[in-house]
């Protein structure tokens, strides 16, 4: 499994924050960036919310770039500027569930999802319960939140 030092985690999260800044703002959605890094420290895929359609989440966009069953995911880390979602509208699979399904063992986030759209996002808890290593980088939370300045009443994150 990819186990970088803190400086590497910060570097990859800054890349994800840069991707989040590319998101077309949407009144009912967060702007999120995601980067998937292989065990050898190379970037496998990246994405941002709404990159390929109005309902796509960053993790979903990044995972869609890789072949189904890609063995490199078993040792990868996904960097997401926001806690992976635990609920989605309609029939779309939540991002926390997608991460579990593909077997990524390590997730790094900048901040936890506040209760702006979902009363209680439990993506962090779902991942930890399933044995995934989840790390939060609070020193980059403000930068990740800044990409969401289009959302009024963002409130406090957990």
Spell out the SS3 assignment of 42-108. CEEEEEECCCCCCCCCHHHHHHHCCCCCCHHHHHCEEEECCCCCCCCCCCCCCHHHHHHHHCCCEEE
pLDDT for the residue 155: 46
pLDDT the model gives residue 88: 77
Q: Which of 39, 43, 56, 59 is catalytic?
A: 59
Question: Catalytic: 129?
Answer: no
Q: In this predicted structure, what is the pLDDT of residue 27?
A: 86
- For residue 111, the Cα-to-chain-centroid distance in whole angstroms is 10
Segments in the chain below pLDDT 70: 1-3, 153-158
What pTM did the predictor assign? 0.93
pLDDT on residue 1: 58
In the prediction, which pLDDT does 158 show?
A: 45
């Amino acid at each position: 499994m990819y186990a970088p030092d803190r400086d590497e985690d910060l570097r990859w999260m800054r890349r994800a924050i840069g991707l989040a800044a590319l998101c077309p703002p949407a009144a009912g959605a967060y702007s999120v960036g995601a980067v998937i890094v292989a065990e050898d420290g190379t970037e496998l895929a990246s994405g941002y919310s709404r990159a390929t359609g109005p309902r796509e989440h960053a993790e979903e966009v990044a995972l869609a770039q890789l072949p189904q069953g890609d063995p490199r995911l078993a040792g990868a880390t996904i960097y997401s500027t926001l806690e992976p979602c635990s609920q989605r509208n309609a029939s779309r699979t939540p991002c926390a569930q997608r991460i579990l399904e593909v077997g990524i063992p390590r997730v790094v986030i900048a901040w936890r999802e506040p209760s702006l759209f979902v009363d209680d996002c439990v993506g962090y808890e779902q991942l930890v319960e399933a044995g995934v290593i989840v790390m939060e980088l609070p020193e980059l939370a403000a930068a990740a939140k800044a990409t969401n300045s289009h959302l009024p009443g963002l409130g406090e994150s957990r």
